[in-house]
Amino acid sequence: MPHESYKENIRIQRWVLLLAILLFSVKVIAWFFTNSLAIFSDALESIVNILAGAVGLYSISLASKPRDSDHPYGHGKAEFISAAFESFFILIAGLYIIYRAIEGFFYPEELGQLSTGIILMVATAVINYIGGYYCEVKGKKNQSLQLIAAGKHLKTDTYSTMAIVIGLVLIKVTGIVHLDGVVAILAALFIIFTGIRMMRISIGGMMDEADKKLLERMVALLNEKRNENWIDLHNMRVIRYGSTLHCDCHLTVPWYLNVREAHEEVTQLRKVIEEEFGTSVEMFVHTDPCMDYSCRICSKVNCHVRKHPMEKKIVWTVDNIVRDRKHRIGTV
């Protein structure tokens, strides 16, 4: 059975798809009444929303499947692929809108009932923003890249729609028809910028790029919750697959702990991380015994085998915790 967060993600993504179809229909009606190129560009972007919503629903459904022999790390990366597709659709739509806007400068068309179009577009903008905000909140809570991408997309659609509304109001007030094309181009540039940024994030996820902000949060947490038996942490790697967090690291513990005691330290480490990042965490922790030089950075009180006094406490940072070597004085 899928995790509860995955079930909620799938349910929300279904609503995103239905919302995209509804808003596309409203924008087509607005375009029919106004014959505005700017509104046409927004309606075209809504087709992208429908395609992205369908791909997103498929990817979240796929990501909810448990790991198997062919996919030992699960199917979470499907969300990165979906977000990349969505970014690609956004870029194509933005370029096509610019093409149509430039064409409109040479072959302008008469505009129709702008007042009706403005009312309909404002309604779609409000609904889009509410939907986008909800998707982002739930996406961050459930750690779903797809929902976050869908939320950003819907909110971006809101901003571009409001820009178009402002342009339509200016056209209605001034009577300058060419403003329609100018507004369409500005909206397209904003759409393209968003698409490029989303594409960058998606490709980074597929390439297992380190998430520096995530690492900073984790390192700060471990420094705060550190106990005296965690003499050192190094070779830490954190990768996100959908809503699942995979964490690998080497934990240095006192050499005289038996297997059960060392395992208890790993369990405590897991609990600390799960309290902050949720239970969808997979940890692979290699325990190392402390060495003679470890005494100089060890804060353990009443250690009966200590050979050197503690000289300095090593504060873990993103830079030093990812290195594949134990810390010691002079080689932090």
pLDDT at 246 over 90: no
Verify that 217 and 198 share a domain, yes or no.
no
Classify residue 243: in a domain, yes or no: yes
Classify residue 326: in a domain, yes or no: no
> What would the mean pLDDT of 40-52 be, rounded to a whole number?
76
Classify residue 280: in a domain, yes or no: yes
Verify that 41 and 126 share a domain, yes or no.
yes
pLDDT tens track for 151-174? 887 887 788 788 788 888 888 888
In contact, 192 and 212? CB cutoff 8 Å? no
Classify residue 330: in a domain, yes or no: no
Classify residue 120: in a domain, yes or no: yes
What's phi and psi for 102, nearest 5 deg?
-65, -40
Verify that 242 and 109 share a domain, yes or no.
no
Q: Is 283 exposed, middle or buried (0-12, 13-18, 19+ CB in 10 A)?
A: middle
> Reduced to 3 states, what is the DSSP secondary structure of residue 124?
helix
CATH number at residue 306: 3.30.70.1350
Classify residue 73: in a domain, yes or no: yes
Q: What is the pTM of this model?
A: 0.55
Given the DSSP bridges, would you call strands 232-241 and 244-253 parallel, antiparallel or unpaired?
Answer: antiparallel
Classify residue 231: in a domain, yes or no: yes
DSSP string spanning 226-284?
--TT--EEEEEEEEEETTEEEEEEEEEE-TT--HHHHHHHHHHHHHHHHHHH-S-EEEE
Q: Is 253 exposed, middle or buried (0-12, 13-18, 19+ CB in 10 A)?
A: buried
Verify that 228 and 280 share a domain, yes or no.
yes
Verify that 47 and 184 share a domain, yes or no.
yes
The continuous run of DSSP H or E covering 289 comes out as strand 281-289
Cα 286 to the center of its chain, rounded Å: 29
Verify that 88 and 179 share a domain, yes or no.
yes
In contact, 43 and 27? CB cutoff 8 Å? yes
Domain boundary among 179, 206, 233: 206
Q: What share of the chain is helix, strand, coil (3-state, %, to 5)?
A: 65, 10, 25
Number of domains in the chain: 2
Domain boundary among 157, 177, 206: 206
Domain of 176, in residue numbers: 4-206
pLDDT value at position 251?
Answer: 94
pLDDT tens track for 178-188? 787 787 788 77
pLDDT tens track for 112-150? 788 888 999 999 999 989 988 888 888 777 766 667 777
Verify that 232 and 301 share a domain, yes or no.
yes
Verify that 41 and 182 share a domain, yes or no.
yes
In contact, 20 and 39? CB cutoff 8 Å? no
Verify that 158 and 267 share a domain, yes or no.
no
Domain boundary among 155, 190, 206: 206
In contact, 273 and 218? CB cutoff 8 Å? yes
Instruction: Give the integer Cα–Cα distance in Å for 99 and 104.
Output: 9
pLDDT value at position 5?
Answer: 66
Q: Which residues contact residue 99 at a Cβ distance below 8 angstroms, ignoring those fewer than 6 apart?
A: none
pLDDT at 229 over 60: yes
Classify residue 178: in a domain, yes or no: yes
In contact, 60 and 146? CB cutoff 8 Å? yes
Verify that 233 and 199 share a domain, yes or no.
no
Verify that 216 and 279 share a domain, yes or no.
yes
Is the four-CA dihedral 294, 296, 297, 302 of positive or negative sign? positive
Verify that 134 and 156 share a domain, yes or no.
yes
CATH number at residue 144: 1.20.1510.10
Given the DSSP bridges, would you call strands 244-253 and 281-289 parallel, antiparallel or unpaired?
Answer: parallel
pLDDT value at position 113?
Answer: 84
Least confident segment among 12-21, 263-272, 284-293: 12-21
Sheet architecture: strand order including 244-253: 232-241, 244-253, 281-289
pLDDT band at 2 (very low <50, low <70, confident <90, very high): very low
List residues bridging with 252 in a β-sheet: 232, 288
pLDDT value at position 208?
Answer: 55
